[in-house]
């Protein structure tokens, strides 16, 4: 486990990468967002047809391979699978629904907070509540079981899938859709996006940082180490926003955000709860995928399918607010999370730690 100095350094690195990506063209208050960027990839690959959110985000590929390039020399790349794989797919799907109702993963929540978006502070209440709920189940013996070592090639399958998408985008860009307006039309150059993702992924693998895990550690172990990295990220980007005039403390007129407080809370409640049940937030799932976990890889595919489903069936929110279908999906998602949590209590084997 890294110490607080490590997390301070990692938090600064995260902040600088986010600032660089925003400076070179990524959307405001969405310099790097795992859920939003996986959604954009789904749109670019024609899995959904929402015109404003379609672009093959190279940061996601970079994060996965940044983690892999850090894990291999440290002998932390381990091909493992078999820990309630179908359940993890469904949890990834559900976590994406929650993120797209809120409009961002926990990483973007922190970036929105650093820009003065009070809606994100409201959403934080739900995220902490979701992590707390999941932590209660962990205390009661919740587990999805222990993953088993498998063939090394298995650990490269999901990273290989995303690498193939990236190479196809470079060689035959006409196969993919690129937004002409909206968030998907704002993006940093390919090289900068890829390098930013590689650095972000490498730092995240080195520190085992996790947004849900950092709060869970406080509840279960009174350990504040990992939250140090998250808070440092917040402070670094906050300073940048204030210095550049990009800090606007308000509920209204925030980029790609809505003011429906209940659904901001419940959307991130789903993300926080699912993150604990999965032993990792959306970012952590990418890192574990880069470390060879097929279970995490299936979770990421679940997120990809969830993003497509959310936009194809009108569940995702927009800057104008939530949809009736999205609200119903959140209620059903919460019910599903409780069912999964209760039905996996008391197992002797423990899921792999963050």
Q: What is the pLDDT of residue 347?
A: 53
CA atoms within 13 A on the CB side of 349: 10
The packing angle between helices 261-277 and 282-290, to 10°, is 30
For the record, the structure tokens of 293 come out as 């976990």
Q: What is the pLDDT of residue 4?
A: 84
**Residues 278 and 95: beta-carbon distance below 8 Å:** yes
Cβ burial of 1 (10 Å; 0-12, 13-18, 19+) is exposed
Provide the β-strand partners of residue 318: 321
For the record, the structure tokens of 144 come out as 């999805």
Q: What is the pLDDT of residue 123?
A: 98
Q: What is the C-alpha to C-alpha distance for residues 178 and 28, in angstroms, rounded to an integer?
A: 18
- Name the phi and psi angles at 278, rounded to 5: -90, -5
Q: What is the pLDDT of residue 349?
A: 39
Query: Which secondary-structure segment (H or E) carries 265?
Result: helix 261-277
Instruction: Go through 303-341 and write b for each residue having 16 or more CB atoms within 10 A of its CB, e for each that does not.
Output: bbbbbbbbbeeebbbbeeebbeebbebbeebbebbeebb
Q: What is the pLDDT of residue 19?
A: 97
Mind listing the pLDDT tens digit of every residue in the chain (354 residues)? 458 899 999 999 999 999 999 999 999 889 999 999 999 999 999 999 999 999 999 999 999 999 999 999 999 999 999 989 999 999 999 999 999 999 999 999 999 999 999 999 999 999 999 999 999 999 999 999 999 999 999 999 999 999 999 999 999 999 999 999 999 999 999 999 999 999 999 999 999 999 999 999 999 999 999 999 999 999 999 999 999 999 999 999 999 999 999 999 999 999 999 999 999 999 999 999 999 999 999 999 999 999 999 999 999 999 999 999 999 999 999 999 999 999 999 854 344 444
Which SS3 state, helix, strand or coil, does residue 293 take?
strand
Q: What is the pLDDT of residue 353?
A: 41
Chain centroid offset of residue 336 CA: 20
Q: What is the pLDDT of residue 346?
A: 81
| Residue in the block written with tokens 């180490």 | 225
Q: What is the C-alpha to C-alpha distance for residues 103 and 245, in angstroms, rounded to an integer?
A: 23
Taken in order 106, 322, 37, 251, is the CA torsion positive or negative?
A: negative
Query: Which secondary-structure segment (H or E) carries 176?
Result: none
The torsion of the CA quartet 163, 166, 172, 177, rounded to 10 degrees, works out to 130
First to last CA, the chain: 10
């Amino acid at each position: 486990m890294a110490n607080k100095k490590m997390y301070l350094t990692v938090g600064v690195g995260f902040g600088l990468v986010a600032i660089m990506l925003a400076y070179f063209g990524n959307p405001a208050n969405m310099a790097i967002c795992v859920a939003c960027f996986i959604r954009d990839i789904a749109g670019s690959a024609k899995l959904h047809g929402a015109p404003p959110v379609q672009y093959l985000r190279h940061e996601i590929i970079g994060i996965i391979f940044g983690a892999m390039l850090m894990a291999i020399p440290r002998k932390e790349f381990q091909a493992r699978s078999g820990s309630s794989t179908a359940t993890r797919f469904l949890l990834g799907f559900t976590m994406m629904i929650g993120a797209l109702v809120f409009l961002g993963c926990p990483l973007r929540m922190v970036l929105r907070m650093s820009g003065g978006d009070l809606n994100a502070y409201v959403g934080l209440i739900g995220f902490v509540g979701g992590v707390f709920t999941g932590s209660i189940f962990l205390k009661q013996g919740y587990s999805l079981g222990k993953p088993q070592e498998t063939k090394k090639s298995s650990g490269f399958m999901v990273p290989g899938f995303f690498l193939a998408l990236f190479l196809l985008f470079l060689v035959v860009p006409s196969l993919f859709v690129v937004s002409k307006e909206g968030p998907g039309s704002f993006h940093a150059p390919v090289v900068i996006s890829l390098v930013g993702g590689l650095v972000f992924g490498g730092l995240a693998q080195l520190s085992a940082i996790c947004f849900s895990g950092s709060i869970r550690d406080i509840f279960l172990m009174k350990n504040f180490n990992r939250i140090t990295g998250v808070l440092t990220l917040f402070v670094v980007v906050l300073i940048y926003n204030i210095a550049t005039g990009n800090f606007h403390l308000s509920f209204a007129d925030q980029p790609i955000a809505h003011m429906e407080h209940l659904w901001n809370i419940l959307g991130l409640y789903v993300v926080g709860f699912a993150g604990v049940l999965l032993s990792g937030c959306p970012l952590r799932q990418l890192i574990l995928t880069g470390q060879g976990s097929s279970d995490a890889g299936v979770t990421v595919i679940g997120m990809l399918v969830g993003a497509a489903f959310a936009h194809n069936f009108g569940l995702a929110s927009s800057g104008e607010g939530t949809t009736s279908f999205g609200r119903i999906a959140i209620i059903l998602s919460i019910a599903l999370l409780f069912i999964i949590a209760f039905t996996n209590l008391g197992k002797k084997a423990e899921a792999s730690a963050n």
